[in-house]
Amino acid sequence: KKSQAWSALFSEPMSDLVKRYTASVFFDQRLWRADIAGSLAHAEMLAAQGIISAADWADIQRGMAQIRSEIESGAFEWKLDLEDVHLNIEARLTQLVGDAGKRLHTGRSRNDQVATDVRLWLRDEIDAIGALLEELQRALVDVAAEHVDTIMPGYTHLQVAQPVSFAHHLLAYVEMFARDAERLADARRRTNRLPLGSAALAGTTYPLDRARVARTLGMVDERGEPQLCQNSLDGVSDRDFAIEFTAAASLCMVHISRLSEELILWMSQNFGFVQIADRFTTGSSIMPQKKNPDVPELARGKTGRVVGHLMGLITLMKGQPLAYNKDNQEDKEPLFDTVDTLKDTLRIFAEMIGGQLNPATGRKEGGIRVHAVAMEEAARKGYATATDLADYLVKKGLPFRDAHETVAHAVKAAQSHACDLSELPLSVLQAFHPAIGPDVYDVLSLRGSLDVRRTLGGTAPEQVRAQIERHRQRLG
Ligand code: ARG
């Protein structure tokens, strides 16, 4: 009995091991919506071009509608023998509507079919990820808006450097996620191109209307122009769009991972800057006092997994001769897992930072809790305003290098008294330079330090407010 699409030529069946080794149906079945959409667009065009009859087209539509409802209800029987999502759906179609089902594959190969499916599926996932990225950015901007005047130590080398506002710090992540969204939107443009019509590798003899199929599938640019793969060999064989997407996803995860690392540090008792809601933490089975930041830790860990997928995909491509090779079946699991991991992570971070909407109050609750006092106390340690004293001396006429050296002496003196620069009496400060006057104490205050960093993109509250406004306009 014939169980495979190409059986006539084969003198022996596949062993069970080889069947399992070569089959993809257990993971690629998630492409079913894209597969049906691609098949319907192809069949509609075949009918419009007179390649199949109107009756065949009607049968195909009817059969696909039934298959769709079978899959949705879980009644569809996926068969390992039929290898992949494409052959499973086509076989069922033929079972349901007979010859029309057998005509569907006219002018098409699984090679251009699978490339189309993956592109359609990924395009829609990129859109979903874009929406989640906006949600996360909004959550960060909302928390930032509350903390324009919350002062924390800014670090370089994880050593206290200069004071910044917590809002300013959060907005740095908003910039990163905004660029991630740009990268994904750019990858989407190259993903949303139609391989169908490439057939197995060389194109096809049938008078296909590729542009029509592209339009049906929404594979068009901003001006509505159909986007077609322009070389059939390339159309069936490259997966650069998937690699590019995974690279953008990896960068996004790296940004999440940096944020995670900071949350984990900030939650440590030695910082005590923030808390996240209990539902994002776990306890310890031995230490009763523990509340561990599992979610940020896992996100940091899962970043490795996504970066691993990028390495997997890019390595998958490197030795392949033109055109299609079965190697490409291995693109799916890493790509699917990348999408799943990124979506879950973005969703969970938006809620962990921004909280959950309480329908009763119409407000978001249970987001990140910020301990402004602990942040400000930490900013008082480590001579965060030493640069401000140097700048003050420059304004009094000292060359910057001399001012830098003078302040280094003052810091050393403060260290030996175990106090802050602002706690040194004026007479002591004046011993370092006679130009220092009583107005120095404004300069040495954290707030004073923040207020004067007014360059565009700086940490001064007026600048930070302007950035929040810009992001709010952009995010709608
Ligand atoms: N399952 C295959 C894949 O994922 C579909 C294409 C198979 N084409 C072929 N000529 N064997 O790539």
DSSP secondary structure string, 66-87? Answer: HHHHHHHHT-----GGG-SHHH
Asked if residue 114 has its Cβ within 6 Å of ligand 1, the reply is yes
Query: Are both 99 and 133 inside the same structural domain?
Result: no
Q: Looking at the domain assignment, is residue 58 inside a domain?
A: yes
Asked if residue 191 has its Cβ within 6 Å of ligand 1, the reply is no
Query: Are both 351 and 252 inside the same structural domain?
Result: yes
The stretch 399-422 carries a mean pLDDT of: 95
Q: How remote is the C-alpha of 254 from its chain's centroid?
A: 9
Asked if residue 385 has its Cβ within 6 Å of ligand 1, the reply is no
Q: Report whether the peptide linkage leading into residue 323 is cis, meaning its omega lies within 30 degrees of zero.
A: yes
Q: At what angle do helices 110-146 and 332-354 cross, to 10 degrees?
A: 20
Query: Are both 151 and 298 inside the same structural domain?
Result: yes
Q: Domain boundary residue among 106, 126, 159?
A: 106
The stretch 306-324 carries a mean pLDDT of: 98
Tell whether the torsion through CA atoms of 163, 165, 168 and 172 is positive or negative: positive
What's the CA-to-centroid distance between 114 and ligand 1, angstroms? 7
The stretch 5-30 carries a mean pLDDT of: 90
Asked if residue 110 has its Cβ within 6 Å of ligand 1, the reply is yes
Interacting residues of 419 by C-beta distance below 8 A, sequence separation 6+: none
Nearest to 348 by CA among 281, 267, 280: 280
The stretch 331-355 carries a mean pLDDT of: 98
ipTM of the complex: 0.97
Q: Looking at the domain assignment, is residue 454 inside a domain?
A: yes
Q: Looking at the domain assignment, is residue 116 inside a domain?
A: yes
CB-facing half-sphere around the CA of 406: CA atoms within 13 A: 24
* Cα gap 332→94, rounded to integer Å: 26
Percent of the chain past pLDDT 90, that is, above it, reads: 94
Q: Domain boundary residue among 77, 106, 135?
A: 106
For the chain, what is the domain count? 3
Q: Say which CATH number the domain at 182 has.
A: 1.20.200.10
Question: What is the structure's pLDDT at 291?
Answer: 86
Query: Are both 257 and 271 inside the same structural domain?
Result: yes
* Cα gap 449→163, rounded to integer Å: 7
Q: Looking at the domain assignment, is residue 197 inside a domain?
A: yes
What's the CA-to-centroid distance between 18 and ligand 1, angstroms? 15
Which residue range(s) make up the domain with 397?
Answer: 382-475
Question: What is the structure's pLDDT at 1?
Answer: 44
Q: Which two tokens stand for residue 278?
A: 């209990």
Asked if residue 459 has its Cβ within 6 Å of ligand 1, the reply is no
Question: What is the structure's pLDDT at 284?
Answer: 83
Question: What is the structure's pLDDT at 282?
Answer: 86
309 part of the active site = no
Q: Say which CATH number the domain at 38 has.
A: 1.10.275.10
Question: What is the structure's pLDDT at 436?
Answer: 95
Give the active site residue among 15, 73, 157, 427: 157
| Ligand 1 atom closest to Cα of residue 331 | 4
Mutate which of 110, 196, 325 for ligand 1? The one with the most ligand atoms within 8 Å of its CB, which is: 110
The stretch 156-180 carries a mean pLDDT of: 97
Mutate which of 26, 316, 327, 329 for ligand 1? The one with the most ligand atoms within 8 Å of its CB, which is: 329
471 part of the active site = no
pLDDT in tens, 353-362: 999 999 999 9
| Summary mean pLDDT of the chain | 96
The stretch 279-287 carries a mean pLDDT of: 87
Asked if residue 239 has its Cβ within 6 Å of ligand 1, the reply is no
CA-derived radius of gyration, the chain = 30
| Ligand 1 atom closest to Cα of residue 328 | 12
| Ligand 1 atom closest to Cα of residue 24 | 1
Give the active site residue among 7, 284, 409, 417: 284
Asked if residue 329 has its Cβ within 6 Å of ligand 1, the reply is yes
Q: Looking at the domain assignment, is residue 8 inside a domain?
A: no
Query: Are both 127 and 181 inside the same structural domain?
Result: yes
Query: Are both 252 and 172 inside the same structural domain?
Result: yes
Q: Looking at the domain assignment, is residue 224 inside a domain?
A: no
**Residue 254 clears pLDDT 60, i.e. is over it:** yes
pLDDT in tens, 191-227: 999 999 999 999 999 999 999 999 999 999 999 999 9
Query: Are both 189 and 291 inside the same structural domain?
Result: yes
Query: Are both 312 and 289 inside the same structural domain?
Result: yes
Assign 245 a pLDDT band (cuts: 50, 70, 90): very high
Q: Domain boundary residue among 106, 128, 155?
A: 106
What's the CA-to-centroid distance between 129 and ligand 1, angstroms? 27
Query: Are both 299 and 413 inside the same structural domain?
Result: no
Q: Looking at the domain assignment, is residue 4 inside a domain?
A: no
Percent of the chain past pLDDT 70, that is, above it, reads: 99
Residue nearest to ligand 1 atom 4, measured at CA: 329
**Residue 459 clears pLDDT 60, i.e. is over it:** yes
**Residue 77 clears pLDDT 70, i.e. is over it:** yes
Query: Are both 60 and 179 inside the same structural domain?
Result: no
pLDDT in tens, 111-122: 999 999 999 999
Total H helices, total E strands in the chain: 20, 6
Asked if residue 117 has its Cβ within 6 Å of ligand 1, the reply is no
Q: Looking at the domain assignment, is residue 7 inside a domain?
A: no
What's the CA-to-centroid distance between 312 and ligand 1, angstroms? 18
| Ligand 1 atom closest to Cα of residue 83 | 1
**Residue with token string 């090779």:** 325
Assign 8 a pLDDT band (cuts: 50, 70, 90): confident
Assign 23 a pLDDT band (cuts: 50, 70, 90): very high
Query: Are both 185 and 292 inside the same structural domain?
Result: yes
What's the CA-to-centroid distance between 216 and ligand 1, angstroms? 23
DSSP summary character for residue 194: B
The stretch 95-110 carries a mean pLDDT of: 98
Query: Are both 267 and 345 inside the same structural domain?
Result: yes
Q: Which two tokens stand for residue 324?
A: 């299609």
Q: Say which CATH number the domain at 450 has.
A: 1.10.40.30
Residue nearest to ligand 1 atom 3, measured at CA: 329
Tell whether the torsion through CA atoms of 343, 348, 351 and 353 is positive or negative: negative
* Cα gap 254→260, rounded to integer Å: 9
Total Cβ atoms within 10 A of residue 166: 24
Of the listed ranges 23-27, 31-35, 300-304, 362-366, the one predicted with least confidence: 362-366
